[in-house]
Amino acid sequence: MPGIITQDTPSSMPIAIIGIALRAPGDGADSENHAHFLKQDFKVFDAPFFSITPKEAKAMDPMHRMLLETTYEGFENAGLTLDAVKGSKTSVYIGSFTNDFSSLNVRDNEGPSIYHATGLSSSLASNRLSWFYDLKGPSMTIDTACSSSLTAFHLACQSLRAGEASMSVVGGANLMFGPDMSILLGAAKILSPDGKCQMWDAKANGFSRGEGIGITVLKPLNAALRDGDTVRAVVLASATNEDGRTPGISLPSSAAQRELIRTAYAQAGVDPAETGYVEAHGTGTQADDPLEASAILETVGKDRTSDLYVGSVKTNIGHLEGASGVAGIIKAALVVEGGLIPQNLWFEKLNPQINLPENVKIPLELSAWPHDGPRRASINSFGFGGANAHVVLEDAAHYLERMGLKGRHATVIEPKLPCLTNGHTNGNGTTPTAAKPKLFVLSSYDQDGIQRTTQQLQTYLSSKSHNDQPDTPSLLSNLAYTLSTKRTTHPWKSFAITSSIPDLVASLASCPAASRSSDYANAPRPAFVFTGQGAQWFAMGRGLSIYGPFRASLAAADATLRALGCAWSLAEELGRPEGESRLVLAEFSQPACTALQVALADLLVAWGVRPAAVVGHSSGEIAAAYCAGAITRAAAVKIAWLRGRFAGTVAERNGKGAMMAVGASGESLKERLAGLTAGKAVVAAFNSPKACTVSGDEAAVDELQDILTVEQVNSTKLKVEVAYHSPHVEVIREAYETALAGVGTVDCTQNIPMFSSVTGALIQPEKLGPSYWVDNLVSPVNFAGALSALLHHSKEQKRSHDRRTAFASVFVEVGPHSALRSYLDLSAVNETPADASSMLVDLPPYAWNHALSFWEESYLSREHRLRPTPRLDLLGYRVPDSPEPVWRNFLRCGESPWIREHRV
């Protein structure tokens, strides 16, 4: 069926990119704004947000600090709150190979603090993320030089496919604080003296270093679709290999690159000739460019019928080194999502060693995707030690369509030049319908953060209104949905209510002052909803028998049944194979279901999960009363056992009855029921505003079903022979009540309110005597009324802030299986379809508090990094920390040719 993916091998399991965060040079503070150096001051950090003291913050590598913030932004972009990821089996893979901050700090070993060991360690680039966000999957920092983060991406995909993790955070980081690495790379003759990356250009003379932090959040595609995540792109395959022995350790192997690409496409099971874009490594060196071009042209560029574009983000933002692979992934994901290919910079003339076919192009301007159908992209990343990585992506929309899947995505189906619309298409020119006012929730960790957030949103909304963006109702609905359900709620809050973009911009400028939410003394707890008859199955509860409280509760119920004179064993009946189970008969199912629900309640309470309120459907009220503390376990078992015994005699005494679930309200069936001619039937249960159950003579129920079928109203006949909650069971009223004599309530000290599905209101424990349980069997079930009363009560309790009470925040169904879920869904106050609003993937990230800076550097380091005097041709550099002026120099003819003829 649609929505389920089957895989032949784990290696072919598709992976979804669900979150993206980027800090790129210039203004690239997010994936919407793409300069070789970060504009952000690397000294600033929102340390209070992460509960990090100033002393520890100063000792932390700024790469680690930015990774903490950018990872949060990645979760935020994926629509995941901190509570949603806490304790999850999430892996972390970070690629990085430079360590400038460590070099600065070890230059003077007289002043390290207790935090420097962890603050400088490269392993903490990943491990600190796992620690702060409480992520339980594998966690490691990868160093394969420039391919570090794409290798990390491959390892993350492998981890997900192997089941080691359920989600993965993958990223890379590169920051420059000193000249040392640049000096080393310059000595190796691989840096461009022009400060440009000229991919495949005849003038290419090396790469230019760049800074950046990139994060992606990954999930198995099946899990992403199940969880309703927005899929940004689908990873079809990833692969890594090594050049092996080449003429020089830093000289790449075209043959190894070619084999790597073929391996990735064989794993993906798609034709490389159908790929429309390749994100090349593209460093812009005379040695590397022709070799990579050859590998691409002999694989992805071979036997093509459509154009292929080859570009490199290094031409735009420089070579991010350890972070370059994830920068390429993010660019490629945005390309397949948006359907537009950015321009390569600095290209003038093709390298004469590269022969491009006519249909292989370098994008010299913003270009549309070259063909219809799936948008597939390849990403190359190579380390200067020969460690290679390759990834194949496809846009989410086309992948889901060709696999017959349904899910959320942000793919722009019909991209339009010259602007990227990020998943939205332009309006159709018609006047939009009037939008209803929406609530826009703002929250921040610190009080001033509300103002920073409103400023961000004002800028965002102004850009939307100026760029002919989607209609206002859609944008506002998506914005309200994203802010309220896809962002972590922080202590300081404010809000705005409006129905138009201009009004919202104005409201944000004058929204209520930030207020801090106090911790509720009456903390939220679940409401337990106990399933009625019909949810039983032969193996129910077996998997929970390993837990002592559950096992002990069932044993106590079994003992009660024996004491009552029951001829069969509860333990034996629950252990029967399917073909021998008798749980379809009321005599067995009634006490078995109640005993199971009581045991489930006991187990939940033993685990510390106590309900704020309880409600039961039909016979589920018996266990609900026990859970509320109104009756004992023995009384609950006796009520259910007697109910089953007497119900089993109804068909013999009053003829065969029937029941039927109907997808319509009880009120809407009144006229149809009154007009039946084959017999009598009544509404037995008001389950929700849109669902009820009918009970009565079998012939009458069959007649009604025929009528509803013609009217195209859903109806399902239940597998029962007793017409519960109808006049059919009146024949056992007197006998049942007599047998219940002596079953009374107990003094209730638990203060757990019970909402009756007989009365549709809160009921006091002392009312739960024998006559109540007879009414519970005979009277209509007012489940919808009970739910409504519970919700109203919970709302009042939440407002009261009474320390003695708790309010219900969620429903937990207690029973053999989820039989009431659909009724609870239909009873929801907000009847808007769940997919009516979509998450905005281009919303600005969290507004960090960067008012404070954290930097500590020794005199020796500062003098080395920021030399106060220039180098002199003869004397060289002045030696720092010397008691008298001392200079140090290496005389080289290449640098000072005028000394060539001099002698000393």
Kindly report the CATH number assigned to the domain that includes residue 241. Answer: 3.40.47.10
Residue 830: band (very low, low, confident or very high) from pLDDT cuts 50, 70, 90: very low
Q: Which residue has the higher pLDDT, 292 or 891?
A: 292
How much is the pLDDT for 873? 81
Residue 131: band (very low, low, confident or very high) from pLDDT cuts 50, 70, 90: very high
How much is the pLDDT for 849? 96
Mean pLDDT of 547-569: 94
Same domain for 510 and 538, yes or no, is no
β-pair partners for 15: 220, 235
Flag whether 707 is in a domain.
Answer: no
Here the tokens at position 167 are: 């989600």
Number of domains in the chain: 4
Looking up tokens 């009456």 gives 522
| pTM, rounded to two decimals | 0.68
Flag whether 797 is in a domain.
Answer: yes
How much is the pLDDT for 831? 41
Same domain for 614 and 561, yes or no, is yes
Give the range among 64-68, 161-165, 264-268, 882-886 with minimum mean pLDDT: 882-886
Flag whether 662 is in a domain.
Answer: no
Contact yes or no for 694/700 (Cβ under 8 A): no
Give the range among 327-336, 579-588, 624-633, 892-901 with minimum mean pLDDT: 892-901
- Active-site amino acid positions: 146, 281, 319
How much is the pLDDT for 674? 95
Please determine, for residue 566, whether its predicted confidence score (pLDDT) is greater than 90: yes
Same domain for 619 and 597, yes or no, is yes
Mean pLDDT of 535-545: 87
Contact yes or no for 81/877 (Cβ under 8 A): no
Contacts of 792 (CB under 8 A, 6+ apart): none
Identify the CA nearest to 626 among candidates 543, 793, 538, 745. Answer: 745
Residue 36: band (very low, low, confident or very high) from pLDDT cuts 50, 70, 90: low
> Within 36-99, where are the H helices?
54-59, 62-77, 82-85
Same domain for 291 and 320, yes or no, is yes
Q: Which amino acid is at 699?
A: A
How much is the pLDDT for 421? 38
Q: Which amino acid is at 650?
A: V
Flag whether 162 is in a domain.
Answer: yes
Identify the CA nearest to 327 among candidates 288, 359, 279, 284. Answer: 279
Identify the CA nearest to 647 among candidates 593, 600, 603, 585. Answer: 585
Residue 32: band (very low, low, confident or very high) from pLDDT cuts 50, 70, 90: very low
Here the tokens at position 402 are: 């060709």
CA distance 144 to 172: 12
> Within 227-373, where are the H helices?
254-268, 288-297, 314-317, 324-338
Contact yes or no for 93/126 (Cβ under 8 A): yes
Which of 514-523, 694-703, 788-797: highest mean pLDDT?
694-703
How much is the pLDDT for 825? 64
Which of 106-110, 267-271, 431-435, 839-843: highest mean pLDDT?
267-271
Identify the CA nearest to 644 among candidates 522, 784, 773. Answer: 773
Same domain for 511 and 533, yes or no, is no
Indicate the SS3 state at residue 535.
coil
Residue 818: band (very low, low, confident or very high) from pLDDT cuts 50, 70, 90: confident
Flag whether 430 is in a domain.
Answer: no
Give the range among 177-186, 409-418, 795-804 with minimum mean pLDDT: 795-804
Task: State the Rg of the chain over Cα.
Answer: 34
Q: What is the chain's length? A: 904
Contact yes or no for 658/696 (Cβ under 8 A): yes
Same domain for 204 and 234, yes or no, is yes
CA distance 615 to 621: 7
Contact yes or no for 306/371 (Cβ under 8 A): yes
Looking up tokens 């001099």 gives 902
Residue 435: band (very low, low, confident or very high) from pLDDT cuts 50, 70, 90: low
Residue 471: band (very low, low, confident or very high) from pLDDT cuts 50, 70, 90: low
Same domain for 820 and 876, yes or no, is no
How much is the pLDDT for 37? 66
CATH number at residue 493: 3.30.70.3290
CB half-sphere exposure, 653, CA atoms < 13 A = 13
Phi and psi at 723, nearest 5°, equal -90, 80
Same domain for 486 and 537, yes or no, is no
Domain end marker among 516, 549, 580 = 516
How much is the pLDDT for 4? 34
Per the structure, the complete domain to which residue 894 belongs is given by 867-904
Flag whether 852 is in a domain.
Answer: no
Residue 524: band (very low, low, confident or very high) from pLDDT cuts 50, 70, 90: low
Please determine, for residue 252, whether its predicted confidence score (pLDDT) is greater than 90: yes
Flag whether 50 is in a domain.
Answer: yes
Domain end marker among 516, 543, 571 = 516
How much is the pLDDT for 561? 96
How much is the pLDDT for 828? 53
Flag whether 159 is in a domain.
Answer: yes
CA distance 904 to 894: 18
Same domain for 648 and 730, yes or no, is yes
The proportion of the chain whose per-residue pLDDT surpasses 90, expressed as a percent, equals: 67
How much is the pLDDT for 434? 52
Distance of CA 596 to the CA centre of its chain: 34
Mean pLDDT of 221-243: 96
Same domain for 195 and 241, yes or no, is yes
* Mean pLDDT of the chain, nearest integer: 88
Answer whether the bond into residue 437 is a cis peptide, omega within 30°.
no
Helix 620-627 vs helix 770-778: angle between axes, to the nearest 10 degrees? 140
Same domain for 209 and 60, yes or no, is yes
Same domain for 383 and 302, yes or no, is yes
Sign of CA dihedral 182, 896, 248, 237: positive
Mean pLDDT of 364-375: 94
